[in-house]
Structure 1
């Protein structure tokens, strides 16, 4: 139990007579790519610089209300964790004085982020960093007959031959090691397929094909591997989620033609869903609305064939036409009962605030993943000290099944705290006059306690003192100051999103509601001159005078 208070900055939104419905459950994921240092690590070989860079990424994701990270730990046949089976990615983290996966897990969980170990399964090498292939422990050298060269458009890559049972067993043992050693929330499979129709399995097929049609046999090899892996990791930890990122088109349908997972790379992802040997998939739907390969047709085909499992839509913000439509895609996912969205990759959405992610949400539940129901904390209490709200509570006697405590205002999730916390300090930058707060316990699979703590009504004395000062004039927001902190009061006739800037540099961004609103400005703002309020939806712009 921590005796000291944690300082948490909460984006607790504005006073309104009637709260809008918040999206309570939605997976908001991002792929953090380490292959070729695409997102992380930075080019510096200094370990502290590398750590700080990852912390900056995770802070950004937390600030923008993401809740899930797919962190790449296997690419090109090397690993970003300590293994007794495969070589460490010394070309990425040469100092090797910290374990990147362990560090990512600890820092993600501190921020309420779920983290899945993202692994490239069948593709063993691509690109130009050929020094990797000189390592005697690389699979290409250790078991050369497992590895086949594949040439496409002049580019050479190396792939494992999944027709060998020993290859499938090897991969199962390799990924079991992650589950045994690390407190990850899931295992995320990528390149879980053949590279193409002309893959050279002329040695393995005669040995193990048993006269089965080669296309069917290749799909069976992938399917049997996933089934064996699913069963083995669930024996180690039943709460682990197994997921995969199949290519975008499962099979061609009317009005939709392209590279097919089922026929071109032997990826029968629908079988995985139907038989329950996977918990979720993130199909890579890397197209825009209304194009020659229309996003909406592909997404609809996936969502009509979920078979009771979770389908999260993979999006491609690296494409300019897609990036312009991301908010529309998020809304589409909600309207069509997807289980969330994932963005490829972090660099393409870095420091991006999505209006539809304006409030926090828990990842989707997995009803088939259960443990003993967590017990709610009790004796929630508060007091104001130095313009901060101090919360304290009593944790349940048995916290085995508890991973987080969720703090709520009415039904809105405000913050997550790790299970060893029993007191926090909230900065009173809150924009709510009155909050009805309570806690729920949450387990590792994001199942909440049915019961909740006692409810406490917290009245913010600082903001209450402003209430009578708000002028009923929509056209004239007012700049206010109290205790060296600046606030803006404004009246709005409808919901909107506002961006407050100083000298064309953004200070803060907020959702506003119909009625009276008070916005707390950054406490580092000392001079409130040249402030501008831009209204995103209405297009208005107002310059403030102090």
Structure 2
């Protein structure tokens, strides 16, 4: 993970590949090493799979304000990205090398040395237009925590709600999945409240925004207690598929909506999403279909969405 810290045995590498740097500039040399890797990694990924989103999840503190006027008002003096891990995250964002950034904001609101609110605002203000996902630390939840805030999942809820109100934040990620699986301190009740409706992945800057073609031949038929939906399209590739095919502007998923009969369709309402599928058909129980009209749209692998078309009922 970048460099483990300043105390790292790389004297032989520095002597062999100094690239013109003097001994007193070794920290700069290290940061340039990481810069080279990050830039090379991005360029390589984009040359093979331009649809791939390349991002990094760094420690929460780039630098402290004490050491840099651009730093955050924090006191993480023994551990920062720039001074200890030799990762100049700010440069990467300003250079446009990242499709997104996911800072590990694993501190509670009001924590004296590294306040969640202070850090969240710093990443918002210094992201240089790079979309931000906030990393929230569900692993910190503990009924016996020395920090009172972590004894209840309300801390996670308050953090997520705070980030929803901040520009540049595209969403949040939780570390780690085991806490959700184990429903740590009942945290899943918070998630049910925060995410009561389905949603699709938001678009990121710098990617193709042309949607795939509108699905054709969308029909529904009732057979007994079952309603069958089908449309024309290319089903999701099974197993290994060629890079060229994966890169093509084709429908990769389909999104099916349902609206009450007579209701004006509003496709921005997540609660109207019935299903997301990579197939070109699916079925539901007939009792679920009587009072609804149904529509289907196509999504490419970047979640650019076509216009939706209404299903016609056939016998």
1:211 aligns with 2:21: yes
- Cα offset, 1:400, TM superposition: 5.4
1:404 aligned residue: 253
* Aligned residue number for residue 424 of structure 1: 282
Equivalent residue, structure 1, for 2:75 = 257
Q: Secondary structure at the match of 2:37?
A: helix
Partner secondary structure for residue 207 of structure 2: coil
Equivalent residues of 2:217, 2:231 under 8 A apart: yes
> Which residue number in structure 2 is paired with residue 438 of structure 1?
295
Question: Structure 1 pair 429/270, CA: closer, same or farther in 2 (3 Å)?
Answer: farther
Structure 2 residue aligned with 1:319: 140
- In the alignment, the residues of structure 2 paired with residue 400 and residue 447 of structure 1 have an alpha-carbon distance, to the nearest angstrom, of 10
Cα distance, 1:335–1:435 mapped onto 2, change above 3 Å? farther
Structure ranking higher in helix proportion: 2
Q: How many Å separate the matches in 1 of 2:286 and 2:94?
A: 49
Q: Which residue of the partner structure matches residue 414 of structure 1? A: 274
- Mapped to 2, the partners of 1:308 and 1:444 lie a distance apart of 23
What's the CA shift for 1:223?
0.8
Deviation at 1:456, TM superposition (A): 6.1
Q: 3-state DSSP class of the match of 1:407?
A: strand
Q: Which structure has the highest strand share of the two?
A: 1
Post-superposition Cα deviations, 1:104-124, rounded to whole Å, max 9, x if no partner, equal xxxxxxxxxxxxxxxxxxxxx
- Structure 1 residues 201 and 329 mapped into 2: Cα distance closer, same or farther (>3 Å)? same
1:223 is matched with which residue: 17, 30, 35?
35
- Once residues 294 and 205 of structure 1 are traced to their aligned partners in structure 2, the CA distance between those partners, rounded to angstroms, is 37
Q: 2 CA distance for matches of 1:269 and 1:433?
A: 54
Is the counterpart of residue 343 in structure 1 residue 174 in structure 2?
Answer: yes
Match of 1:268 in 2: 88
Is the Cα–Cα contact under 8 Å of residues 438 and 456 in structure 1 kept in the other structure? no
User: Superposition RMSD on alpha carbons, in Å?
Assistant: 2.5
Instruction: Report the CA distance between 1:316 and its aligned residue.
Output: 0.7
Distance (Å, rounded) in 2 between the aligned partners of 1:229 and 1:221 = 12
1:162-201 map, 5 Å: 191=1, 193-201=2-10
Which residue matches 2:60? Answer: 248
Compared CA separation, residues 219 and 436, structure 1 to 2 (3 A): farther
Q: TM-score, normalised by structure 1?
A: 0.45
Q: Which residue of 2 aligns with 1:373?
A: 211
Q: Tell me, which stretches of 5 or more residues in structure 2 are unaligned?
A: 66-71, 142-148, 236-244, 259-265
Q: Deviations over 1:462-512 (max 9, x none)?
A: xxxxxxxxxxxxxxxxxxxxxxxxxxxxxxxxxxxxxxxxxxxxxxxxxxx
Return structure 1 stretches of 4+ with deviation > 3 angstroms: 321-324, 383-389, 396-400, 427-430, 432-436
Contact 2:34 / 2:87 at 8 angstroms: preserved in 1?
Answer: yes
- Give the counterpart of 1:390 among 217, 222, 228: 228
2:234–2:280 Cα contact (<8 Å) kept? no
Q: Report how far residue 206 of structure 1 moved.
A: 2.4
Partner SS, residue 414 of structure 1: strand
Structure number with larger C-alpha Rg: 1
| Distance of 2:121 and 2:287 partners within structure 1 | 42
Which protein, 1 or 2, shows the higher relative CO under an 8 Å CA cutoff with sep ≥ 6? Answer: 1
Q: Which residue is 2:158 aligned to?
A: 328
The alpha-carbon distance between structure 1 residues 429 and 324, as it changes in their structure 2 partners (threshold 3 A), is farther
Change (3 A) 1:285 1:441: same
TM-score w.r.t. structure 2 length?
A: 0.75
Structure 2: distance between partners of 1:329 and 1:392? 42
Shift of 1:372: 5.5
Partner of 1:357: 195
* Residues in 1 aligned to 2:309 and 2:85: alpha-carbon distance in whole angstroms: 51
Q: How many residues align?
A: 262
- Alignment map for 1:94-113 (pairs within 5 Å): none
Alignment of 1:300-315 (within 5 A): 300-315=121-136
